[in-house]
Amino acid sequence: MSKKLFIETLGCAMNVRDSEHMIAELNQKESYELTEDSSEADLIIINTCSVREKPVQKLFSELGVFNKKKKEGAKIGVAGCTASHLGKEIIKRAPYVNFVLGARNVSKVAEVIHKDRAVETEIDYDESQFAFKDFRSSLYKSYINISIGCDKQCTYCIVPHTRGEEISIPLNLILDEVENSVKRGAKELFLLGQNVNNYGRRFSGKHEKINFTELLRRVSEVEGLKRIRFTSPHPLHMDDEFLQEFAKNDKICKSMHMPLQSGSTKLLKDMKRGYSKEWFLDRAKKLRELVPEVSISTDIIVGFPGESDADHEDTLDVMRQVGFEQVFSFKYSPRPMTEAENYTDVVDPQIASKRLAEVQELHNDTLDRLKERNLNKVVEVYFEELRSDGFVAGRSDNNLLVKVKGSEELLGRFKNVRINRLSRLSFEGEVI
């Protein structure tokens, strides 16, 4: 009888890829098969996120539920960023947890399941050259790590403390994964890193030193690959060479994530983001000039310590000037081990909520204005998702979510679609 593995993944795309690595290692080294039903699982893993306090609180209530539902003798493990920063504290608070595996120790998963109460959270453990077994949760696109960790010190961010220092993954390992993905039928891939456009700054051992722009060129030379996406680039490293390549390379999808965080140069300094309001606006303007059809998404934090009405107004001003196609906005959440955790000039929670509502309202107004331009537009869609409502969905090159009436025959195929129905976040159309 094969053993059953249930894995729940919280948080970002990096966590999705880490979960795929754990599934592959446990399947090929320990013969675990995936199950969607945690009550029949022999092993339950929660791959956690620590970017804000809420997911951390959610973890302990979830652990309680899994512990009640699990079958006799089943094991429970906690992985990911919360595992990295809470470590053995998790076992103290939830003694039925069998192991804790930090975000930088994924390659040890097949070992820790055999140890009771194991806590593997070494923050400088180097997996950058580890050739993980292969498993993909999608047939049509692949997530590919190009670096681990982060060398920035953004004062609100816990990631450098949970994922460690930044090390680039060697080019040959990346190209191997790209070629294997294309052989397996994926036509789109997502290059992942905390700071993708900082690629090549540091490797473990001797490896060919190239920067991110050159990496994009090399990856785009792989035959059979049609689309390249990446996340997350840092606005500081968006130099002209990078933007030119982004514009002229047909395989690079014309959607760019540019995490702003705040529009105030004073606050960006307190956040240690390394760029100013003017630099960000200059880069966004350049990008729109080079690629008029580009969709730009961003992250915004409101209520960061010391944020004044004028700072907030600067954020709204950048939003008006750039007209982001997608905005992920949050209230500041103090994180342990970060510099800002000790900042005293705390913003009143009600003011922070009011500012968040203003950011979201302005974004909705922008979406309502922008969506009109897509009516009757013809876009090429890569279909990846079969829905139960008789629709098949996919994304355009510039990341519009588009659905058409259809069947599984469309999955994994590129089709031209004329958009005939609009909504804020997704579009409907017909294949032409």
Residue ranges that bind ligand SF4, judged by CB under 6 A: 150, 152, 154, 157, 159-160, 194-195, 234
In this complex, which beta carbon is closest to ligand SF4, that of residue 10 or of residue 154? 154
Minimum distance of ligand SF4 from residue 152's CB (angstroms): 4
In this complex, which beta carbon is closest to ligand SF4, that of residue 159 or of residue 253? 159
* Cβ neighbours, 10 Å, residue 48: 28
Task: For 237-268, give the DSSP string.
Answer: G--HHHHHHHHH-TTB-SEEE---B-S-HHHH
CA pair distance 58, 79, nearest whole angstrom: 14
Burial class from Cβ neighbours inside 10 Å (0-12, 13-18, 19+) for residue 123 reads middle
Residue 150's closest CA among 51, 268, 54, 264?
Answer: 51
Minimum distance of ligand SF4 from residue 178's CB (angstroms): 24
State how far the alpha carbon of 25 is from the alpha carbons of 106, 133, 387, in Å: 9, 6, 30
In this complex, which beta carbon is closest to ligand SF4, that of residue 237 or of residue 415? 237
Minimum distance of ligand SF4 from residue 258's CB (angstroms): 12
In this complex, which beta carbon is closest to ligand SF4, that of residue 80 or of residue 160? 160
CA pair distance 106, 94, nearest whole angstrom: 21
**Which residue type, as a one-letter code, is found at position 348?**
D
In this complex, which beta carbon is closest to ligand SF4, that of residue 170 or of residue 235? 235
302 by DSSP, 3-state: which?
Answer: strand
Minimum distance of ligand SF4 from residue 250's CB (angstroms): 29
In this complex, which beta carbon is closest to ligand SF4, that of residue 9 or of residue 195? 195
In this complex, which beta carbon is closest to ligand SF4, that of residue 102 or of residue 160? 160
First to last CA, the chain: 49
Rg of the Cα atoms in the chain = 22
In this complex, which beta carbon is closest to ligand SF4, that of residue 151 or of residue 317? 151
In this complex, which beta carbon is closest to ligand SF4, that of residue 229 or of residue 415? 229
Looking at residue 170, what DSSP letter applies? Answer: P
Looking at residue 384, what DSSP letter applies? Answer: E
Minimum distance of ligand SF4 from residue 261's CB (angstroms): 7
Minimum distance of ligand SF4 from residue 196's CB (angstroms): 10
Minimum distance of ligand SF4 from residue 155's CB (angstroms): 9
CA pair distance 244, 297, nearest whole angstrom: 19
CA pair distance 304, 260, nearest whole angstrom: 13
Minimum distance of ligand SF4 from residue 369's CB (angstroms): 29
Minimum distance of ligand SF4 from residue 259's CB (angstroms): 7
CA pair distance 369, 123, nearest whole angstrom: 45
Residues 362, 409: contact at Cβ < 8 Å? Answer: no
